[in-house]
């Protein structure tokens, strides 16, 4: 399943933060039945880590959120839930993900947020959602696609929140 791509303009870093924070809770709730995987696409510096950091802050996480550039994986416990933040830029082979023990960590209540997901193809679970960030003027565009029913439900939440935050929808 793949619904329409929905895109918004994020004029500045605070807009990325506000939207990510607003939609973090519902994403976790949707992972209760089945773990979720969010593929974060976009070139270097486009906002993938910023999104995950703001999401975690929105969930009440108060510790430091560092980019998993070298560790590949940073796990976060938030209440009953786990967020697994991956950055696969430096992964040379998807098999390395098996060494990390990713499969054993994924269970209901887990949300995987993976930067550079293409490099883990075959080992990383199929994404429920894709968030593709790109540069647009001084700001960013985020294009979101859902591939599962849970992903589509979350996209509805995002659309409502984006509208409440007065973020311009793009074609
Ligand atoms: N909507 C926005 N408009 C302008 N700048 C933004 C916006 N959102 C985030 N930024 C800025 O863009 C940069 C994004 O860096 P970030 O580390 O999140 O990128 P990344 O996509 O994770 O890159 P990498 O692939 O290197 O991990 C930060 O400096 C952040 O403040
Ligand atoms: Mg990053």
Handedness of CA 12, 16, 19, 21 (dihedral sign): negative
Vertex 123, ends 122 and 127: CA angle to 5°? Answer: 80
Q: Rounded to two decimals, what is the model's pTM?
A: 0.97
Q: What is the DSSP letter of 26?
A: H
pLDDT at residue 62, rounded to an integer: 93
Tokens of 141: 């565009």
pLDDT tier at 9, thresholds 50, 70, 90: very high
Is the confidence at residue 2, as pLDDT, over 80? no
Question: Hey, which of 7, 11, 13, 135 would you mutate to test ligand 1's pocket, going by the most ligand atoms within 8 Å of its Cβ?
Answer: 13
Does the structural domain 6-170 have CATH classification 3.40.50.300?
yes
- Residues sharing a CB contact under 8 Å with residue 131, sequence separation 6 or more, in sequence order: 38, 39, 40, 41, 42, 48, 51, 142, 143, 144
**C-alpha count within 13 angstroms, C-beta hemisphere, residue 3:** 19
Give the residue-averaged pLDDT of 122-150: 97
Domain ranges of the chain: 6-170
Query: Mean pLDDT over residues 146-165, rounded?
Result: 97
Please state, rounded to an integer, the average pLDDT across all residues of the chain: 96
Residue 108 is predicted with a pLDDT of 97
What confidence tens digit (pLDDT) does each residue in 50-105 have? 999 999 999 999 999 999 999 999 999 999 999 999 999 999 898 888 888 898 99
Which residue matches tokens 């416990």?
Answer: 77
Q: What percent of the chain has pLDDT over 90?
A: 91
Pocket residue to mutate for ligand 1, from 38, 47, 64, 115, most atoms within 8 A of Cβ: 47
Say what the pLDDT of residue 1 is: 65
């Amino acid at each position: 399943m793949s619904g329409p791509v929905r895109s918004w303009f994020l004029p500045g870093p605070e807009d990325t933060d506000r939207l990510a924070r607003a939609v973090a809770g519902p994403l976790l709730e949707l992972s209760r039945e089945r773990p979720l995987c969010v593929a974060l696409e976009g070139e270097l510096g486009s906002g993938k880590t910023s999104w995950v950091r703001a999401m975690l802050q929105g969930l009440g996480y108060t510790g430091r959120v560092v980019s998993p550039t070298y560790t590949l994986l940073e796990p976060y416990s938030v209440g009953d839930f786990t967020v697994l933040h991956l950055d696969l830029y430096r992964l040379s082979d998807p098999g390395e993900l098996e060494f990390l023990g990713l499969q054993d960590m994924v269970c209901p209540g887990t949300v995987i947020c993976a930067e550079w997901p293409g490099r883990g193809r075959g080992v990383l679970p199929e994404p429920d959602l894709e968030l593709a960030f790109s540069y647009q003027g001084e700001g960013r565009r985020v294009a979101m696609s859902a591939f599962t029913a849970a992903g589509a439900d979350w996209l509805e939440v995002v659309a409502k929140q984006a509208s409440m935050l007065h973020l311009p929808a793009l074609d």
